[in-house]
């Protein structure tokens, strides 16, 4: 689904100038321009902006530091939350994740079983053989905002 600027602003709470700045800095992809004065943004821009805001508010990262995370680690910003996991691993210095069983994960994140299933279907959260990592808890908190 493609979004107009106004829709992107409403879904992210960011101003037009901030979104344009993120594009200029290479944090967001250029919009498609099917007609003059019509710019359409991919839905994954919403998640990228939320991730940028998360890094700024929770880790006090600057745009320059966030840009370095995106470029230095060759992150794929195609809407996959695997990008977030890789970034959070970089931020934590590659520390080993703690693992949580499904019941504990649901309790810690306050997610319902249905919401968790929906997030998993969309590829936002990943349950591995060990269960859910502490990174998924961080991602679940981002999704809840």
**What mean pLDDT is predicted for residues 56-70?**
79
pLDDT greater at residue 39 or residue 61:
39
The answer to whether residue 69 scores a pLDDT higher than 90 is no
Question: Residue 31 is encoded by which pair of tokens?
Answer: 């919009």
Q: CA separation (Å) from 88 to 10, 28, 51, 73?
A: 26, 19, 10, 11
- CA 143, chain centre distance (Å): 8
In this predicted model, which residue has the larger pLDDT, 65 or 87?
65
Q: Could you tell me the pTM of the whole model?
A: 0.55
Q: For the CA atoms of the chain, what is the radius of gyration?
A: 16
């Amino acid at each position: 689904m493609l979004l107009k600027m106004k829709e992107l602003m409403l879904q992210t709470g960011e101003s037009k100038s901030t979104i344009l700045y993120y594009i200029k800095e290479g944090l967001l992809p250029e919009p498609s321009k099917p007609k003059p004065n019509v710019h359409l943004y991919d839905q994954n821009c919403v998640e990228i902006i939320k991730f940028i805001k998360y890094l700024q508010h929770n880790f006090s990262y600057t745009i320059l530091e966030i840009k370095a995370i995106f470029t230095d680690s060759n992150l794929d910003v195609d809407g996959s939350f695997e990008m977030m996991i890789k970034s959070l691993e970089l931020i934590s210095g590659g520390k080993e994740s703690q693992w949580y069983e499904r019941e504990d994960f649901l309790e810690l994140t306050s997610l319902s079983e249905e919401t968790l299933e929906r997030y998993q279907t969309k590829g936002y959260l990943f349950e591995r053989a060990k269960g859910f990592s502490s990174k998924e808890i961080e991602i679940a908190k981002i999704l809840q905002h």
